[in-house]
Structure 1
Amino acid sequence: MTALTPQNWVIGNWKLNPYFNEAKQLFSAIAQQYQNQAELQTCHVAIAPPAPYLSFFATQQTLPIVAQDVSTIRGQGAYTGEVSADLLKETAVELVLIGHSERRELFGDDAEKLQQKIKNALQAGLTIVYCVGESLVQREAGQAQSVVIRQLQELADVTHDTEWKNIIIAYEPIWAIGTGKTASPQDAQQMHAAIRVYLQTLTTTANRIPLLYGGSVKPENAVELAACADINGALVGGASLDAASFISIIQAFAQ
């Protein structure tokens, strides 16, 4: 990420889906269509498969692979079940999601845990896709922007200025994840613009940081979202499990 303006990214977050044989077919279909259509390649594309598949897909060397989570533990040791940033890097994983609302809400990832994960990932040389977003209650209380700014500050507190080149921000309003609801393009752009302004107070490279929108992104709304000045791509959940839908979203951000 060395360009003067942000590079566009579309990242498919498969979450706990699908089973392995179906995953191989899906990955192959996406990779082949992306590689065979030169016009799509102005947009960077990556896939976040379930953890057991990371090494297999990383060795395909066709699309960048994203881990959906990372341990608070560094390196190696007697930590049954943990996957450290260093091991991810060793298996050719390039990026990692940190701060997704499902990790925050379902698995207790508070600020302290997230900051340890951030430090570990950056020290291992991974690119972080850092997720921020507010709940419906927070939005209706007029707290959406302050919640997102607080989450960004938690990231900034453990990020050195030279490390911002390895940061992607994904704004995912919690009330829009997996619900079929989507923030209007106007609301999404407004939040993305606020994120950009705040990042400018944190780092001189703020204008180069890709800002992705996530939250029920699908082909039907991707073109409108892609037209917004401060939206540089998408973090896609359900629609990334269908190759045709995912390619349509890539096309929107490759214009």
Structure 2
Amino acid sequence: MSRERAKLVVGNWKMHGRIDVNAGLLTEVAAGASALQNDVYVGVCVPFPYVGQAQALLSGSVVRWGVQDVSAHAHGAYTGEVAADMATDFGSTYAIVGHSERRAYHFEGPELIAEKARRALDAGLTPIVCVGETLEERDEGLTQEVIATQLDAVLTVLTEEQAARIVIAYEPVWAIGTGQSATAAQAQEVHAFLRGKLAAKGASVANVLILYGGSVKPENAQELFGQQDIDGGLIGGASLKSKDFLAICQAAQTVLQKAA
């Protein structure tokens, strides 16, 4: 991936999908994404049972695929866990780690998420490390403190070379699945703060892609992606509709064309 800060749009299907529905969605996304230029990258992170289907339908296309979580363990007696190497067996590129739903519903702490990110890197995956604050934390003025703690836990266990291979996704918890998105200015402020934290890790880390997630839709994608430090999106609900998802990808393309 170019270090000139290309745009990246990744769909997070969460716990949605059935084989027949997936087939149509993946085929339509692959066909639509083929019209994008080389500086816009597209991915989908699907539930574990459908990774093989994604591989079968997306191989040879410009769309990359991945998973929504990986284990902090390489292998062993961990019933129900899925190792990062298992995801790469199916050609996966991405692994989401630290999504707010994992933090909240599965009580995943910063150290566990950091280990998952390291396992993903060891397996050759690109971890998409999610950070974000709750509405209560934002109202109390704790946004930067919260996301700094979340990000620092990961950066601390990685070398500079490893850290340069991750992707960050800022997802304010209060905007996920609520229909309420952060304004472009609010999102840019946090992304700029994150960019500074990454740069402090090393020069090669400064241009790590930082995605925005939280009720991104075709209507607001271009304004969000046009901000200086927003490099694309981690898309939830809109990624389940090929027309909406491809419109968001096109918004990333439009932003790059305007900047050229």
* TM-score interval (norm. to shorter): over 0.9
| Distance (whole Å) between structure 2 residues aligned to residue 115 and residue 195 of structure 1 | 16
Q: 1:106-185 residue pairs with structure 2 within 5 A? A: 106-185=105-184
Partner of 1:50: 47
CA distance in 2, matches of 1:59, 1:200: 38
Q: What are the equivalent positions in structure 2 for 1:57-72 lying under 5 Å apart?
A: 57-60=54-57, 61=59, 62=61, 63-72=63-72
- Counterparts of 2:128 and 2:223, CA distance in 1: 22
Q: Distance in 2 between matches of 1:113 and 1:165?
A: 20
Which runs of at least 4 in structure 1 moved beyond 6 Å after TM superposition?
A: none
Deviations 1:220-244 (A, max 9, x none): 1011101111100000000111111
Moved more, 14-23 or 135-144: 14-23
Could you tell me how far 1:42 is from its partner in structure 2? Answer: 2.5
AA in 1 matched with 2:50: Y
Deviation (angstroms), 1:80: 2.5
Equivalent position of 2:226 in the other structure? 227
Between the two proteins, the alignment pairs up a number of residues equal to: 251
Greater CA drift, 58-67 or 10-19: 58-67
Q: Does 1 or 2 have the higher relative contact order (CA < 8 Å, sep 6+)?
A: 1
Change (3 A) 1:205 1:73: same
Per-residue deviation, 1:2 = 4.4
CA contact (8 A) 2:64 2:93 kept: yes
The offset of 1:207, in angstroms, is 3.0
Correspondence 1:212-251 to 2 at 5 A: 212-251=211-250
What is the TM-score when the length of structure 2 is the normalising length?
Answer: 0.93
DSSP-derived class of the 1:45 partner: strand
1:83 aligns with 2:82: yes
Structure 2: runs of 5+ lacking an equivalent = 255-260
Deviation per CA, 1:57-115: give whole Å up to 9, x if none. Answer: 123312211110001210x3333222101111122111100010000001111122212
Is the CA contact (8 Å cut-off) linking 2:160 and 2:205 kept in structure 1? no
**Alpha-carbon RMSD:** 1.2
Structure 1 gap segments, 5+ residues each: none
1:3-46 Cα offsets, whole Å, 9 max, x none, are: 2x2221000000011222101110110111111x144x421000
CA separation in 2, counterparts of 1:185 and 1:38? 24
Q: Report the Cα distance in structure 1 between the residues aligned to 2:191 and 2:181, rounded to whole angstroms.
A: 14
Note if contact 2:155-2:163 (Cα within 8 Å) is conserved in structure 1: no
Question: Counterpart of 1:254 in 2: which secondary structure?
Answer: helix
Partner residue of 1:187? 186
* Normalised TM-score (structure 1): 0.95
- CA deviations on 1:143-202 (whole Å, 9 max, x unpaired) are 001111111101111111111232000000000000000000000011101110111111
Identity %: 38
In 2, Cα distance between the equivalents of 1:207 and 1:77? Answer: 36
SS in 2 for 1:212: strand
